[in-house]
């Protein structure tokens, strides 16, 4: 994840898009507040709009990766006959 220059805000995580570097804040979902370290969202940069997988790092930061890469990394991407993949 690119370094972020955002100032800490209580209840929000600082993050940056892994694709374009746009900085943004992540609000904690109910699942994250219950200890499940996973979430998703879309990059706020109108020229990027990558759908992101989000994980909490230590402190007040969050790590992002394209959701498709998360599915590949976790083995949840299912190949189909035409060479593309189904999610």
pLDDT in tens, 52-84: 999 988 778 899 999 999 998 888 877 666 555
Residue 75 is predicted with a pLDDT of 85
**Within a domain: 55:** yes
Q: Which residues contact 48 (CB under 8 A, 6 or more apart)?
A: 17, 19, 20, 22
Distance CA 34, CA 80 (A): 35
Which range marks the domain in which residue 51 is found?
Answer: 12-69
**Selected residue with higher pLDDT from 59 and 15:** 15
pLDDT surpassing 80 at residue 8: no
Share of the chain above pLDDT 70, in %: 85
Q: Buried (b) or exposed (e) across 44-72, using 16+ Cβ within 10 A? A: eeeeeebebbbbbeeebbbbbbbbeebbe
**Within a domain: 81:** no
**Within a domain: 82:** no
Residue 43 is predicted with a pLDDT of 96
**Within a domain: 79:** no
Residue 3 is predicted with a pLDDT of 58
**Within a domain: 18:** yes
**Within a domain: 22:** yes
What is the number of domains present in the chain? 1
Q: Which residues contact 10 (CB under 8 A, 6 or more apart)?
A: none
- What three-state secondary structure class fits 40? strand
**Within a domain: 5:** no
């Amino acid at each position: 994840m690119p370094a972020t220059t955002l100032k800490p805000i209580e209840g929000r995580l600082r993050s940056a898009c892994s694709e374009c570097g746009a900085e943004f804040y992540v609000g904690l979902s109910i699942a994250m507040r219950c200890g499940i370290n996973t979430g998703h969202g879309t990059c706020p940069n109108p020229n990027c709009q990558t759908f992101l997988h989000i994980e909490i790092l230590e402190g007040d930061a969050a790590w992002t990766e394209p959701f498709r890469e998360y599915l590949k990394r976790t083995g949840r991407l299912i190949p189909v006959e035409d060479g593309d993949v189904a999610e």
